[in-house]
Each structure stands twice: as C-alpha cells, then as structure tokens.
Amino acid sequence: MMKLIHSIELCKAKRNIDYRSVINSAKVNIKNSRTGFTLIELVMTIILLGVVSIPLSLLIVEQINGTFQSENYAQAANFARVEMERIRNLPYASVVTANFPNYLASGYDVARTVTFVAGNAGSAESLKQVSVTVSKGGPALETLITYLARNVGYGI
C-alpha cells in the first residue's frame, strides 16, 4: 500500500492523474516483487537436501568408523610386534600355542598359534611356524607370521 500511495503522489506531482494506470502498474510491481520464498523453491530445496544428505551422512559414518578402525589397526600392530619380540626371546621349546585375552590389560586379545612345519618336538632339527593374531572382540586386526628353527642362536 505504501508503494501505491507513493506512486499516486508522484503522479499528482507530475499532473498526470491517471489513477487506473497507476494502480495497475503498482499491482504488477507488487506481483513481481523479488522478496519471499515460493512453495516450489522450498519443496525443491527440501528434496535436494534430502537426496544429498543421504550419501553425505553415510560418508560421515564411514569417516567415524575409519577413525576408530585406523586406531585399532595401529594398536593391534603394536601388540603383535611386542608378542613377536617376546617369542624371539623365548627358548625354542617354550614357543607353543597360547591365548592371551586382554593382552597387557589393553582390551586386545592376542592368540599365538604354533605348528611344526618340519620335524616335531622330538626331532634333532625342526622348524616351527609361529602366527600371532591380534583382535578386539571380533575379526583379526593384525596377523604376523614367521618361522623359528630349532636351537638357532644369535651373536658370536
């Protein structure tokens, strides 16, 4: 309405008092005003946000999982290495299959699996396969494998 009044006042000032024309012109301008949202615009926005937010949210979930997974893998690798170093310092006969739940109070489980690849416990020469697997209440996060030959010492 303010527009309309202002328009009429302007016309009067110019001594051109064609009120119908002025009113029509003002109506058109009000109709074509660039302010406000349209229903179509809002609907399109909602649909667009909905469509895009699904993969984005999935990606974010994956990111969170990946962060924890990376941390778990790194920790598991460290514990596997610790156990493998411990095995290398054990006497050959003491390297046997064993499980260590909650290894070093870490919340990780370490399983040591030892099998004879060649020979046996009574053989003069034998070869053991040692496998160290680390998990955290689920599938294996890290597995290290090596061989140990009987009575092989290190150093001069």
Partner 1 sequence: MIFVSFKTNKSIHPKRNFLNERGIVLIASIMLIIFVAIAVLGTTMFLVQRLRHTVSKENNARLIDLAHAGLHGAIYMYRFFDQGAPNGYFVLGPVAINANDSYRLGASPADLLMVNTTVTTAPNSNNITNWRLQNATNSQAITIDRMVVTWGNAKHLRRIRIGGVNVSGSINLVSPANVNITNFTLDTTPSTYVADLRFSGTGNIANTTVDIQFIMTDGSSKTVRISPASKNFNFTLGSTGRITGTNMYRTIQAVYNAATGRIIDYDETNTQY
**Can you give the binding site for partner 1, defined by CB under 8 A?**
2-3, 6-7, 10-11, 16, 18, 21-22, 25-26, 29, 34-38, 41-42, 44-45, 48-49, 52, 56, 59-60, 62-63, 66-67, 69-70, 73-74, 77, 80-81, 84, 117-119, 124-127, 129, 142-156
CB of 46 to partner 1, least distance (A): 9
Q: DSSP secondary-structure letter at 124?
A: S
CB of 105 to partner 1, least distance (A): 22
Q: Are 8 and 22 in contact (CB under 8 A)?
A: yes
> How far, CA to CA in Å, does 37 sit from each of 44, 57, 126?
11, 27, 82
What's the one-letter identity of residue 134?
A: V
CB of 101 to partner 1, least distance (A): 22
**In angstroms, how far apart are the furthest CA atoms of the chain?**
124
Cβ neighbours, 10 Å, residue 87: 19
In this complex, which beta carbon is closest to partner 1, that of residue 34 or of residue 137? Answer: 34
In this complex, which beta carbon is closest to partner 1, that of residue 98 or of residue 145? Answer: 145
In this complex, which beta carbon is closest to partner 1, that of residue 16 or of residue 99? Answer: 16
What's the one-letter identity of residue 4?
A: L
In this complex, which beta carbon is closest to partner 1, that of residue 65 or of residue 97? Answer: 65
Beta-sheet pairing, 109-118 with 127-135: antiparallel
Q: Which of 99, 25, 107 is nearest to 72 (CA)?
A: 107
CB of 144 to partner 1, least distance (A): 5
